[in-house]
Structure 1
Amino acid sequence: MTSFLPKFHARRDQLRSQLCIGIDPELEKLPKVCLESKSPLVHFSETIVRYTNPFAVSWKPNIAFFERFGPEGYFALEHMVHLMQEVSPEVPIVMDAKRGDLANTAKEYAKYFFQTLKVDALTVNPYMGRDSLEPYLDLGGYLFVLGLTSNPSSRDLQKLKTEGSGLYLYEEVSDQMAKLSETYPGQIGLVVGGTHPQEIQSLRNRHKDLCFLIPGYGAQGGDLESILNASGKDALINSSRGITLSTTSENYGEVSKKKAEEVHLQMNQLFS
């Protein structure tokens, strides 16, 4: 059985927070002290992990910001994941990779993320159907399936009405994921953008037992109180740039820690 939910619930209740810290090290926005180091991504991610660790209910590295650099990027990614597991093994890692492919390909992705890296959860795209998700689930992995994303053009496909049921496509996806979770209990959650508080509330009313991963808070404009009121406690609220890329000064670690603590205290006050 996946370790994600037990780790998340324990850490959430310990900190009285739902803060997921996203790590998106866009090279062009890194502090000068990182760019001057031998390995900018290692320097940056190691500092962020060590400084913000006290306030992380979960980590969410975005693999794209590492992949662009090939072998060096993968080295930095794996170094960071191993550091997270060493410094804070009680904090679940959600790898943001949005994978979505069939059978044998999905099996290979699943083995890399859940057997080699040993992360706790993975974001995936359900567009190709349940047989593109089952290889991850069969390995015992936890999946956050894209439902309604926070970007403006999410409406292009996700808010199309489906024939027959008359549901929006994202609602149909959520229903199918809830049904799939009957076969794989405790292994499936839903990504719902924080810029859609009304839809978050509707999905929570529809699926009381699904865990939500909610990007879009902070730099993308989502309001924390509205998100928490709509999502309830079974949700991770992600903040990336607002915490980790808020300054390019040499003391970016201290600044990131302060930003994480500020969000942590806000969540403390709203936690019930």
Structure 2
Amino acid sequence: MDPELEKLPKPCLDSKSPLVFFAETIVRYTHPYAVSWKPNIAFFERLGAEGYFALEHTVHLMKEISPEVPIVMDAKRGDLANTAKEYAKYFFQTLKVDALTVNPYMGRDSLIPYLDLGGYLFVLGLTSNPSSSDFQKLRIGSSDLYVYEEVSDQMARLAESYPGQLGLVVGGTHPSEIESLRDRHPELCFLIPGFGAQGGDLEAIIKASGKEALINSSRGITMSTVAENFGEVSKKKSEEVHLLMNQLFS
């Protein structure tokens, strides 16, 4: 759910609350095919109080229409303990989302407050953007180990103390690395953006990741048209992805 204001369909822009109109339409049309929701908080935050109202309204609507479908809040938070604790309370106690994306750059003590509240974390490992290699693919010392591999290893160790609460973000534009990480950590769930608008190949992703993964398509479904029937188009796109995934897994 990445509602970039300037690119929303005209019916949304003509409404009193464009993000609410957009989110309600997408959720109502696509929920039969959703195995998870992933709102990106940045597209809401830019509007200040109005945006936070739209975000919270969207989360409540998701829970009302599809209470069994988990919500992954894409916020990529990463800060020290006291600040992390406040973020954790907002996302897991106030909003009551099921999972959160976080940045592990400041170390494991920036993650513990979320885990202590019972939250599920998808930790940034190897992201789908072109310059992810600037840091994530640096070698550690004289070893053959990449930074993203060390992150994955540390998260697997941390998961021993917090079982069922830690996963890894791995970009769908890196299928060979996904396969390597899956061999390395068969128990971790992967959140895999990059399929659809970012160019990741679904068949390659599925082959590499296996079933213990959430493969994310956002703009390829939700922003596929600016026509008035954008809800119906998004439903059709969702159905196409659903059928393709079933075919590839069969």
Partner residue, 1:182: 160
Counterpart CA distance in 1 for 2:219 and 2:116 is 34
Q: Aligned residue pairs: how many? A: 250
1:246 paired to 2:224: yes
**1:86 maps to amino acid:** E
Counterpart CA distance in 2 for 1:101 and 1:265 is 40
**1:233 maps to amino acid:** K
Q: List alignment gaps of at least 5 residues for structure 1.
A: 1-22
Q: List alignment gaps of at least 5 residues for structure 2.
A: none
Q: Matched residues, percent identical?
A: 84
Counterpart CA distance in 1 for 2:73 and 2:248 is 27
Deviation at 1:163, TM superposition (A): 1.4
**1:250 maps to amino acid:** E
**1:177 maps to amino acid:** M
Partner residue, 2:104: 126
Give the structure-2-normalised TM-score. 0.99
1:255 paired to 2:213: no
Q: The residue matched to 2:214 in structure 1 has which SS?
A: strand
Counterpart CA distance in 2 for 1:55 and 1:164 is 47
Q: Tell me how large the CA RMSD over aligned residues is.
A: 0.6
1:139 paired to 2:117: yes
Partner residue, 1:158: 136
Q: Deviations over 1:195-250 (max 9, x none)?
A: 00000000000000000000000110100000000000000000011000000000
1:197 aligned residue (147, 168, 175): 175
Counterpart CA distance in 1 for 2:214 and 2:148 is 19
Partner residue, 1:74: 52
Deviation at 1:166, TM superposition (A): 2.9
More RCO (CA 8 Å, sep 6+): 1
1:219 aligned residue (181, 197, 210): 197
Counterpart CA distance in 1 for 2:217 and 2:6 is 19
Which stretches of structure 1, 4 residues or more, deviate above 2 A after TM superposition?
Answer: none
Partner residue, 1:26: 4
Deviation at 1:164, TM superposition (A): 5.0
Counterpart CA distance in 1 for 2:125 and 2:142 is 19
Give the structure-1-normalised TM-score. 0.91
1:206 paired to 2:195: no
Q: The residue matched to 2:194 in structure 1 has which SS?
A: coil
